Structure 1
Amino acid sequence: MAKTDNYIINKLVVSGNGLEDAVIKFSKGVNVIYGASNTGKSYIFSLINFMLGGNETPPSIDEAKGYEFIYMELKTANKYVTLERSLYDGKTACYYSEYSNLSKELKKSFSKNHTTKPNNISKMMLNNIGATYEKNLKSKDGKKQNFTFRSYTGLTLLSETAIVNRKSIIREAAGGYQKTASVSAFETIVTGSDYIHSAVDDSSKIDINSIEIELNLLEEELKTYRSDYEKIVSNSVFENEIDVSNEINILLEDIERDKEFLSELQQEKKEFSNKEEKHKEELNYYLKLEKKFKLLQSNYQSDYSRIDFIGETRYYFDQLDNVICPICGIQSKPKGQIESSDDFLKIISIEKKDIENKMSDLEVTINILQEKTALLLETQDKNQAQIFLLENTISELSSNEIEKKLERLQKRLIDRDKLNQGKYIDNKIADKTVRKEELLKKKENGSKVSTSKNNTRLTMAIRESICEIVSELLTKWKLFESAKVSFDIEDNYDLIINGKAKNSFGKGYAAIINSALSIAIMLYCRRNDLPYPKILVLDSPLLSFDGKRKNDIGEKVPDELKISFFKYLNEIIKEEQIIIIENLRTAQQELNTIKGLKLNFFTNGEEEGRVGFFPNRS
């Protein structure tokens, strides 16, 4: 059953240490990346292909030097998943969050192997679209291989080389040497039944021994699956997956809010600590100043005492008589050296007054300093108390609130994995049980297994339905006035348009016809509730003409076709996602008038728009 909440690509990011991220965003509907050549548009295709399990590393270009990881943010109606892949060794991981909220707690490493390892991109993407297919044919001799997500990408990711292929894109989907595997995968996709559940037997009689062997194997598999299921059920409480996902999203939001609040508290603590340092410096300054002023005050007091002593000495000196020394004969008060006592005392009084004024001013200054010091000490105590409170709050938030929520988040992520694992095993049990009943019925009735390929695989009804969608697309795009489309199942395994095989058209027509077939397969599967990705990427379906000259193969796409191509796709593609990469040089104004079309215009710097995929480092 096709799921309606399949992933779409929300964002593609290439990052490198010390470099600005190269980012492009997408949304549901039709996304168009267009503009000048050599601006990184086709590089985006190689990134998408690589992130969806491709083996080919994106090409080494000068603009990508120093970039190390690619991130693809996938989105459904109620959750985000971000894939990570190294550009150096191809190692892959998954984060159950948006790209902006990546953390180690949400990281899950994936294997690059799509077939033998249980944890890989293929398994995750297949589970997302609800595909439980197991096997498809590998070769004509009946050998089988695992059905993986890459079984889809040959039809959903058409490179600029694949899109102009005049051969069948179905047969060539897995490469020229894997035609049987490609056709087998396609028939599995459009019939909804793989080569385990679709019995194809060329014998004319039932091989009872083979049925017995397969029944025994099925029984063993069912026993293992039931045992695994019992272990999961006994060790966990089964809940609704949406409820668990919602709680995970709420926890992520709460943790993000707590981290923001923690950051605010740490910033507030830092501000208080800075204030504390400034207050300490200011306090030390005032204390030193007060010490100096008190020393000056002591000096003034000393000077005042000295002048006061001189005044008293003069008083006593004036009481002495002016006599002649009996020894040396000199007068004790020589003429000319005897000053007026009043003048002397007046000078003394002035000096004392001057010192008193200075001491008074100094006292006022010291009092002001002491008040400021007291105020700073009080502020310092308050700051220290606030810092202590913030430290306790930060410690409580870090060690209790956030840590507890992270523990809860980890538990819920494990619960979700168990839910998915339980659903997967439950589906396997149901599939194996159905197959077991089919074999038991065959064994009981001895009925012949049908050898008709058309009856068991690609029926006429399926072919006609797909061809009808292709016809509608080609007509609405105005490639043909009327397109009568049929499917050549015998020779080319490809489309016939108005009685003419596709391989007889030129590459320009082939590109548009291949695009129509790719889109038609997706629409057919989704309209018939068959598992299919919602993501489709087309590189240069219109061959990117500039409108002034013919291209190198002599074909020219008129602007009317270009506009019809995008306009009709925009009308019918709503829940799915189509990403179209083009070198369009004309019809730009008309594209801008198509409401809902998501446009990304790349330039080489000569026009207004985005200059390439990678940020300019100059």
Structure 2
Amino acid sequence: MPSIRLLHLTFAGSGRERAQVVFGEKLTVIYGASDTGKSFVTEAIDYMLGARKLDLIPEAEGYSQIFLGLSLPDGSVITLMRGPQASRVHVFDEDVRDLVYRAPDLDLSVSARGSKNISRYLLEKLGLEGTLIATNDTGGTKLVGFRDLLHLCLISETRMVSKVPPVLRSTGTSGQTALKSVLKLLLTGQGEPVTDARPNAAQRRLQKGKIGLLDELILDLQRQLDPHRGNEGELAAQLHRLLAHQDTVATSLREITLRHTAAAGRRADVAIMLGQYDQRLAEIDDLLGRFGLLRSQYESDLARLAMVSEAGNLLGYFRTGACVFCGADPEHQTAEHDQETTALHAAVAAEDGKTRHLLSDLRLTIDDLQIQREGVAGQRENCAAQAEQADLEIARITEELLPVENLASEAMAARSRLEKELGLHNRIQELQEVRDQLVADGAVPGGRPTSSIPAGAVAAFDRAVERALHAWHVQLRSVSYDQYTAELFVGDRGRVGHGKGMRAVLHAAFAVGLADYCLGEERIHPGFIILDSPLVTYRQPVAARRTDDENLPDSVSDYFYRDLFHRFTGQAIIVENTDPPADITGEAQVYMFSRDPDDHRFGFFPVGAARGSDVSES
């Protein structure tokens, strides 16, 4: 992408020690005490890039040539040379850092008149030669100047805290359209078209209401857009990635669901088997209970028969001798006397034998049932173990299933949001095309730019500013740029409504975000930002100043410098009073200006340069 990189700023004079600052490729920090010429460096760069005058400080006395080394977009290196009060800039096609007396390779005017001026020269290198910007609402245009671009990337200390919006130069209405058009040029990469014929007053009045209504509709739709979602292309890419992710999640969900269904089926089969085993055990236990009662009955019967037999023996019923019934001696007993005792004895013996046989069979049956019960109980125990394993598997699959279901739900919700955002963008695009067609036909709304910045570009720029503030740990609500008032809003509150510390931080974020957006989208941008005192007046909402305690949070200042060094893709030059963090001091190009000649360097100019004089710049 076309951009310019600053190499060095050098003051040279006969008999004077050279004063120089070499700029780092990514980040240069100039900090230190007041009245050491820090802001003078910013003003000198501005002067070398076309400012009409430079207010010299006493230390600059005796320096006759000022050099600004530049690396151009094509990779070539040039040096701009200008005298302290000169109206022309000399160009050398090499890196010059000391007094030069030979003729320059090119001589340019500072004035905007004519074709050979510093503005046209630098714009040609950036590829913007002949680009037009709007000057009014009736179709007036003019050539853009390099100073118009520099206004957005070189911010003086005064402008940093000013209540004037970053895009504008003053609160007056004069020139506002042109300044807004410059921002449109940077965000869209397109200048204003050349138009010859303009509509008459009646035609403009006829179309004015249509454009006003379209503007309101577009603004209303823009307010509904989520500034963190990205432009239409980014949203389409996000939706494409989301659909691919959703397919992956759906595949995983189907696979896990199938495993869960299979595990649940196996658990149901095991549950049926457990029921069968429980039923069989209940039947066996019932039989064992009944057989136990029968065994007890048999044992009781045997005990009674034994008692009868014992009583018969005691009473002599079952032995020879005198008859127990009539008292007759054996010799007087008849055959009928033995039949009665023998029948009783035989009956008792027969009943005892039968009962013992039945009890023996019953015991065998009970033993067989016991063996069956042990087998069924063992099988049930194995089945219960299988059920427990199945339960564990189902629980494990359920734990695996829940996050996938959540992912599927989140993906569906995200898809709905993205499709809604894309729908809004499509509707805005349709309305914008209708509006652009009206503008192309020559209709111009009163009090507004010739054509507005597309909603996607504004939203992307808003996100770039928000990213910068978030990276610096400045906790603010959504940031938005109102292209019609040129004001930067934080939520519903404009930048002008904040204190000067926050105004400075927001102005710095505006410049950084603009450069980030342009460089990231390969739009035209000078490629560098120069910020004078963006943080000196800022204080955090809560006390979080850096001390020797490493557990305390870093300040916004620390995050600011780290972001510019590690993330920012352009070249940054920061002028501040406060110290940068130690890690940045060791990596970036850092200069400390001190009023003590034994501590670092005295200032921009060597110690011998009018050291005793008062310095008016900070």
TM-score (norm 2): 0.54
From 499, 514, 517, the equivalent of 2:510 is 517
Residue in 2 aligned with 1:104?
A: 102
2:589 equivalent to 1:598 = yes
The Cα offsets for residues 244-288 of structure 1, whole Å up to 9 and x where unpaired, read as xxxxxxxxxxxxxxxxxxxxxxxxxxxxxxxxxxxxxxxxxxxxx
Q: Which one is further off, 182-191 or 12-21?
A: 182-191
Q: 1:572 to 1:197 in 2, by over 3 A?
A: farther
Q: Does the CA contact (< 8 Å) of 2:502 and 2:538 recur in 1?
A: no
> d(CA) in 1 for partners of 2:496 and 2:78?
40
Superposed CA offset, 1:78-137 (max 9, x none): 4210001111233211000111485736532111222x3222211221122222343223
**In the aligned structure 2, how far is the partner of 1:98 from the partner of 1:503?**
43
- Residues 446, 104 of structure 1: CA spacing in aligned structure 2 closer, same or farther, 3 A cutoff? closer
Which residue of 74, 82, 85 corresponds with 2:82?
A: 85
The answer to whether structure 1 residue 22 and structure 2 residue 19 are counterparts is yes
Matched, 1:614 2:579: no
Q: 1:139 to 1:38 in 2, by over 3 A?
A: same
Q: Go from structure 1 to structure 2 and tell me whether the alpha carbon gap of 1:493 and 1:110 turns closer, same or farther (over 3 Å shift).
A: same
State whether residues 476 and 564 of structure 1, in contact with CA within 8 Å, keep that contact through their aligned partners in structure 2.
yes
Cα gap change, 1:198 to 1:499, in 2 (>3 Å):
farther
| Pair 1:206–1:544, CA change in 2 (3 A) | closer
| CA deviation after TM superposition for structure 1 residue 152, in Å | 0.3
In the aligned structure 2, how far is the partner of 1:518 from the partner of 1:507? 16
Correspondence for 2:482: 488
Relative to structure 1, the CA distance from residue 175 to residue 72 in structure 2 (aligned partners, 3 Å threshold; closer, same or farther) is farther
Query: What is the one-letter code of the residue matched to 2:67?
Result: Y
User: How far apart are residue 169 of structure 1 and its match?
Assistant: 1.3
Unpaired segments ≥5 residues, structure 2: 205-435, 544-552, 612-618
Displacement, 1:176?
A: 7.3
Between 1:527-536 and 1:603-612, the stretch displaced more is: 603-612
Task: Check conservation: 1:467, 1:487, Cα contact below 8 A.
Answer: yes
Match of 2:565 among 554, 562, 570: 570
Q: Give the alignment of 1:126-525 within 5 angstroms.
A: 126-140=123-137, 142-172=139-169, 177-197=174-194, 448-449=441-442, 451=444, 456-480=451-475, 482-490=476-484, 492-525=485-518
1:564-595, Cα deviation, whole Å (9 max, x unpaired): 11111212124x211010011x5x5x334566
Report the CA distance shift for 1:113/1:538 in structure 2 as closer, same or farther (over 3 A). Answer: same
For the residues of structure 2 that align with 1:446 and 1:169, how far apart are their CA atoms? 27
1:113 alignment partner AA? S
Partner of 1:283: none
Please tell me whether Structure 1 or Structure 2 has the larger radius of gyration of its CA atoms: 2
Question: Which residue matches 1:119?
Answer: 116
Q: Whole-Å Cα distance in 2 between the matches of residues 455 and 68 of structure 1?
A: 46
The verdict on how the C-alpha distance between 1:100 and 1:68 changes in structure 2, with shifts beyond 3 A counting, is: closer
Deviation per CA, 1:366-400: give whole Å up to 9, x if none. xxxxxxxxxxxxxxxxxxxxxxxxxxxxxxxxxxx
Counterpart residue type for residue 497 of structure 1: V
Change (3 A) 1:7 1:486: closer
Letter in 2 for 1:178: G
For 1:561 and 1:41, the matched residues in 2 are separated by 21
Shift in alpha-carbon separation, 1:173–1:180, aligned structure 2, 3 A? same
Deviation, 1:195, is 2.2
Q: CA deviation at 1:28?
A: 1.4
Distance 1:199 1:571 in 2: 48
Counterpart contact for 1:466–1:521, Cα < 8 Å: yes
* Structure 2: distance between partners of 1:544 and 1:163: 10
| Contact 1:206–1:448 (Cα < 8 Å) also in 2 | no
- Give the Å deviation of 1:34: 0.4
In the alignment, structure 1 residue 530 sits paired with structure 2 residue 523: yes
- Shift, 1:450, TM fit: 6.0
Separation in structure 2 between the aligned mates of residue 537 and residue 20 of structure 1, nearest angstrom: 26
Query: Which residue of structure 1 lines up, in the alignment, with residue 555 of structure 2?
Result: 560
Say if 1:486 and 1:82 are closer, same or farther in 2 by CA, change over 3 A: same
Tell me the alpha carbon deviations over residues 394-427 of structure 1, each in whole angstroms, 9 at most, x when there is no partner: xxxxxxxxxxxxxxxxxxxxxxxxxxxxxxxxxx
The answer (yes or no) to whether the contact 2:150–2:526 under 8 Å persists in 1 is: no
Are the structure 2 counterparts of residues 177 and 78 from structure 1 closer, same or farther at C-alpha, using a change threshold of 3 Å?
same
Are residues 580 and 202 of structure 1, via their aligned partners in 2, closer, same or farther at CA, if it must alter by over 3 Å? farther
Q: Root-mean-square deviation (CA), in Å?
A: 3.4
Q: Find out whether 1:69 has 2:28 as its counterpart.
A: no
Q: Distance in 2 between matches of 1:61 and 1:447?
A: 52
SS at match of 1:34: strand
Cα separation, 2, equivalents of 1:18 and 1:11: 21
SS at the partner of 2:184? helix
The code of the aligned residue for 1:602 comes to F
**Pairing partner for 1:49 from 28, 46, 49:** 46
Measure, in 1, the Cα distance between the counterparts of 2:63 and 2:452: 46
Aligned pair in 2 of structure 1 residues 185, 201: CA closer, same or farther (>3 Å)?
A: farther
Q: In 2, distance between residues paired with 1:581 and 1:40?
A: 10
Q: CA deviation at 1:138?
A: 2.8
Equivalent residues of 2:81, 2:89 under 8 A apart: yes
Q: Give the aligned residue type for 2:463.
A: E
Residues 110 and 120 in structure 1, CA contact (< 8 A), matched pair in contact too: yes
Shift of 1:609: 1.2
Residue 206 of structure 1, CA deviation: 8.9
Deviation at 1:606, TM superposition (A): 6.7
Residues 134 and 450 in structure 2, CA contact (< 8 A), matched pair in contact too: no
1:75 shift after superposition: 1.9
Superposition deviation, residue 559 in structure 1: 5.8
Aligned pairs, number: 363
Secondary structure in 2 aligned to 1:110? strand
Q: 1:469 and 1:607 mapped to 2: Cα distance?
A: 42
Which residue is equivalent to 1:384? Answer: none
Maintained 8 Å contact 1:477/1:564: yes
Tell me the amino acid that sits aligned with residue 121 of structure 2.
M
Distance, in Å, in 1 between the alignment partners of 2:197 and 2:472 is 39
SS of the equivalent of 1:44 reads helix
Aligned match of 1:581: 575
The 1:174–1:65 alpha-carbon spacing in structure 2 relative to 1, beyond 3 Å, is: farther
* Maintained 8 Å contact 1:151/1:174: no
Q: CA deviation at 1:157?
A: 0.8
Calculate percent identity across the aligned residue pairs: 24
Q: 1:73 and 1:200, CA in 2 relative to 1: closer, same or farther beyond 3 A?
A: farther
Q: How far apart are the structure 1 equivalents of 2:561 and 2:498?
A: 22
Q: 1:199 to 1:465 in 2, by over 3 A?
A: farther
Deviation at 1:529, TM superposition (A): 1.9
Is the 2:8–2:21 contact (alpha carbons within 8 Å) kept by the matching residues of 1? Answer: yes
CA distance in 2, matches of 1:614, 1:119: 32
Change (3 A) 1:541 1:51: same
Q: Find the aligned partners of 1:593 and 1:187 in 2 and give their Cα distance.
A: 34
The 3 A distance-change label for structure 1 pair 181 and 545 is closer
| Inter-partner Cα distance in structure 2 for 1:488 and 1:446 | 20
Taking the aligned partners of 1:151 and 1:138, their CA distance within structure 2 comes to 12
Give the superposition deviation at 1:497.
0.8
Q: Post-superposition shift, 1:41?
A: 0.5
